[in-house]
Amino acid sequence: MFHSIRWRIAIPYVILIILSMLGIGWYLSNFTRQIYLNDLENELAAEARLAGEFIIPLLNEQTDPQEIDTLARRWAETLAARITIVAVDGTVLGESHDDRSTMDNHSRRPEIIAAAENGWGSSTRYSQSVGDFMMYVAVAIQPEGELLGFMRAAVPLAEVQENVRSLQRSLAVATLGVTLVSVLLALWISGRTMQPLRELTQAVAEISEGRLDGMRAIAGSRPPPRDEIGQLTHAFNQMTAQLSAQIAALQSERSKTNAVLSVMTDGVMIVDREGLVQLVNKAAETMFGIEHSEAIGHSLAQLLRHHQVFELWQYSQASNQPQATTVEAGLHKQYLQCIAAPLGQAMPGSTLLLFQDLTQLRRLETVRQDFISNISHELRTPLASLKALTETLQDGALEDPPAAQRFLQQIETEVDSLSLMVQELLELSRIESGRVPLKLKATNPCELIQQAAERLALQAERAGLALQIDCPSTLSSVLVDPARLEQVLVNLLHNAIKFTPSGGEVRVGAVEEEAQIRFFVKDNGVGIAANDLPRIFERFYKADRARSGGGTGLGLAIARHLVEAHGGKIWAESEEGRGSHFYFTAPLI
């Protein structure tokens, strides 16, 4: 409590007031006492002089001492004082309150000595005979200059002291009252003065605890005083207003940055000069499978455990230049383009690391390269054999009509296969670019299967295969373009026949599922290797180039596009050497 400024201001004032009151009290009581004593002294001196005048005729050797005693007692009664009459040699001649004969010589009493010297004297001291403090005033009796004796009047000081004590009591009460009032007044004034300071202190404490709602205007309801505290409050209010505005602006900037960082698909990290991660965005967390909390403040090397990224950061730091590299990193060994750029003045010593996932791009690039190499490979064989055939014909085979006939037939076959490929490529590109409008209509799945099977029945028979249809007549109709879906079935059946050795079996059919029909084409042929299975629906992909010699590798790609154009799905299950199962779905009406 006493640490507060309120008390620190109030207490010295209160002490000052108490000390001054005590000083004044002490001075006043002394002063009053002195006045009382002076008055009393003068009064007693006057009375002693008056009584002395009357005693003059008695001061000779003939006078009966008893008579002087009686006179002393009478004067004592009249003056309400103790009266002592002392001879020049100090012998007590008359005494009002004591037995004169038992009293010692008074010549050494201070008041008597003073009276002998100056005509009068006084002394205040404790009286053994009265048992109290007394004031003694003695005057010399010296008519016409001849010293005859001394008249001494004395009164107890009890009354004077009682008066002084009563004054002291009044002063004490007044001191207490004034002190109390001044304490209250000091507290009230200091409390009022301190109120804005207290509010300021509280607001500053709230801000320092991070509670920014403390940044409200102080003493907003009443006008601030014009004193120093008022100026301080005003300055504080201005400061908080500015700070609030700046914090709001910063927060808005920060939320914008956060929003951008969190929706970015590229991973972003900021690493300080010690290599500790200062910032990491959502994409980077997902890329590397790290938690935000474990990333911040941890070293880049520990976190990513990737020496190339770490070295890139080091190079960038050392050269103070942006550096880039491509690495295989991250949770799923993605193909990442990693850029390390020093942040310069914005964040001295820190480096921005940017990770762009190029996996998809790279895959597309691979597919494109595969496509080009595949198409050139596919074209090279027929073109080479065409060239060989024409050269053979030119070199004289024309002279041999049966041989020429055979060569021409082969040329026709090659040209057919080339035109088939071109046709399929055209078809595929048309389907892929969405230029094949689907003529949807309610179609019986079994009819589709039937028609496709009929188209390939002869081929199956020639290959020595049993072609089974497995289609319940209760199936619901599907909403499809029948010609296109039949094409899918034909492609699948064609493959099944092609990849099943003689004596095998091909089953084609459909089952109804929830909201869709699932078609299937199953064979017990050569099957597809597990690593080829995910890729067979790509253009030109041939699982085993030697065995699938005749195909273009486009059939399944066309089938996939057609099924997907109908909103369905196509997939294959296979075990090498035991056959393949192809499935696709089509929506019910």
Residues near ligand ADP (CB under 6 A) are 491, 495-496, 499, 523, 525-528, 536, 541-544, 548, 551-557, 580
Residue with smallest beta-carbon separation from ligand ADP: 551
Q: Where are the beta strands (DSSP E) in 380-474?
A: 441-443, 466-470
Structure tokens belonging to residue 178: 């004034």
Residues contacting residue 19 through CB under 8 Å, at least 6 positions apart: none
Least distance from C-beta 428 to ligand ADP, angstroms? 10
Least distance from C-beta 421 to ligand ADP, angstroms? 9
Q: What are phi and psi of 539, to 5 degrees?
A: -65, 135
Least distance from C-beta 517 to ligand ADP, angstroms? 20
Cα 48 to Cα 271: distance, rounded to the nearest angstrom? 110
Question: What is the amino acid identity at position 317?
Answer: Q
Q: Which helix (H) or strand (E) holds 418?
A: helix 401-432
Would you say 237 or 491 has its CB closer to ligand ADP?
491
Round the CA-based radius of gyration of the chain to a whole number and report it.
65
Task: Output the CA–CA distances (angstroms, integers) from residue 20 to 9, 12, 179, 181, 182, in the order listed.
Answer: 17, 12, 10, 15, 12
Cα 59 to Cα 85: distance, rounded to the nearest angstrom? 10
Would you say 149 or 555 has its CB closer to ligand ADP?
555
Would you say 140 or 536 has its CB closer to ligand ADP?
536
Least distance from C-beta 384 to ligand ADP, angstroms? 19
Least distance from C-beta 461 to ligand ADP, angstroms? 18
Would you say 240 or 487 has its CB closer to ligand ADP?
487
- Rounded to the nearest angstrom, the gap between the alpha carbon of residue 356 and the centroid of all alpha carbons in its chain is 31
Would you say 233 or 495 has its CB closer to ligand ADP?
495
Least distance from C-beta 572 to ligand ADP, angstroms? 7
Listed in sequence order, the DSSP H helices in 433-525 are 445-462, 482-498
Q: In what side-by-side order are the strands of the sheet with 132-141?
A: 92-95, 82-87, 149-156, 132-141, 120-127
Would you say 313 or 537 has its CB closer to ligand ADP?
537
Residue among 578, 574, 559 at smallest CA distance from 501 = 578
Would you say 149 or 579 has its CB closer to ligand ADP?
579
Least distance from C-beta 528 to ligand ADP, angstroms? 5
Least distance from C-beta 379 to ligand ADP, angstroms? 15
Would you say 536 or 586 has its CB closer to ligand ADP?
536
